[in-house]
Structure 1
Amino acid sequence: MITLKNIKKSFNGRIILNNLNLEIKDGEILAIVGPSGAGKTTLLRALVGLDTIDSGEILVDNQAFDPSNNANDKNMIGVVFQDYNLFPNLSVRENIGLAPRLVLKQDKQVVAQQTNELLTKLRLADKAKLYPFELSGGMKQRVAIARALAMQPKVLAYDEPTSALDPSMRNEVANLLLALKKDGVTQIIVTHDVELANKVADNIFTVTPLS
């Protein structure tokens, strides 16, 4: 379980998060919703260590955790960014397998086996040799999710998972998130898509602008 206690964060004198308290239970889906500028993405960036908090505590299983200094726990939280951030010069298979080899120092054969399993699980087996420019938005998203899962994170976080997709893809995204939940993956979704949040989330946390 991840616990946030009295989290504060400001930019240029403007308070974004003020004494925020939140719990994310193992195996559940938490949706963080709210209008633009309310601090949703700031909260996500703080959780994954891309921004530091001004004060407060982040705990994992009641132990203090600093996301910005997690050298010994590189796979705590995986992130699927809004623009996916796939490497354009690498194939789908290479995108998925790169970090486990370079960061986790996994054996090539282990990486190959895990990559094959993820390709099958996310219905990408026939896309393994393609490059990002050859994929649809939905396919790119699945590759980004597979790449994050390849690091075996304890938590998987998404920044606006439906924003770049055709509305008809919303159900597919929802089904994918629910399938991952069945596998025990704890998930955090930052989204404007209230319909998606209502469909998949165990809990919804609403962030409101402070000024």
Structure 2
Amino acid sequence: MLELKGITKKFGGKTILDNINLTVTDGKILTIVGPSGAGKTTLLRCISGLASVDSGQFLLDGKAFDPASNRDNDAVIGVVFQDYQLFPNLTVRQNVTLAPTMVLKQSAKDANEEAERLLKQLDLGDKADLFPYELSGGQKQRVAIVRALAMHPKLLCYDEPTSALDPDLRREVQQIIVKLRDEGITQIVVTHDIPFAEAIADQMLRVEPKN
């Protein structure tokens, strides 16, 4: 369980996040919704350790936790970025196995076996040796999810996972996120897509821009 207590973040004297209190329950989906500029992505960046907070506290399973300074954060909180951030010069398999071998120190054999299992799980078993440019947008999205899952995170975060997808692919991503919840994976989804958020959410946080 992840708890946020009094999380505040400012940029240039402007308060973006103001005293956010939140509990993310294990095995559930939290969606964060709101208009552009409301701080959705900033909150996700703070949770994932990509940005530090000005004040407040994070608790992970009841213990103080600082995402921005935790050396093993990649194995605690995974992030699926809006633009996927796949390495264009690496195959799908190499994209998935790079971090487990370098950060988790998995053997190449174990990392490859895990990659094959996860790729098959998300219907990408025949894409392992392709490069990102050979994939559709929906396939890139799924590879990004597999890459995050390969690190065995306690929490998986998504930044606008449906923003560039057509309705069919949107439904596909929705099904994947719900399936992962059914497997016990805790997830946080930042989105401007309210119907999508309502369809997957166990909890929903609405954020509004600060004046």
Q: TM-score range by the shorter chain?
A: over 0.9
Report the residue type matching 1:136 in the other structure: S
Q: Distance in 2 between matches of 1:73 and 1:47?
A: 10
Q: TM-score, structure 2 length as denominator?
A: 0.98
1:73 CA drift (Å): 4.6
Q: Distance in 2 between matches of 1:106 and 1:98?
A: 10
Give the structure 2 partner of residue 164 of structure 1.
Answer: 164
Give the structure 2 partner of residue 30 of structure 1.
Answer: 30
Report the residue type matching 1:11 in the other structure: F
Deviations along 1:171-204, one digit per CA (max 9) or x if unpaired, are 1111000110111100000000111111011010
**Residues 26-175 of structure 1 mapped to structure 2, 5 A cutoff:** 26-175=26-175
* RMSD (Å) for aligned C-alpha atoms: 0.8
1:169 CA drift (Å): 1.5
Report the residue type matching 1:42 in the other structure: T
1:168 CA drift (Å): 2.5
Q: State whether residues 50 and 68 of structure 2, in contact with CA within 8 Å, keep that contact through their aligned partners in structure 1.
A: yes
Q: Distance in 2 between matches of 1:183 and 1:156?
A: 13
Residues 76 and 18 of structure 1: is their aligned pair in 2 closer, same or farther, counting only changes over 3 Å?
A: same
Q: Distance in 2 between matches of 1:206 and 1:9?
A: 17
Question: What SS does structure 2 have at the residue aligned with 1:127?
Answer: coil
Report the residue type matching 1:175 in the other structure: Q
Residues 52 and 73 of structure 1: is their aligned pair in 2 closer, same or farther, counting only changes over 3 Å?
A: closer
Question: What SS does structure 2 have at the residue aligned with 1:184?
Answer: coil
User: How many pairs align?
Assistant: 211
Deviations along 1:91-115, one digit per CA (max 9) or x if unpaired, are 1111111100011110111111101
Gapped regions of structure 2 (runs ≥ 5): none
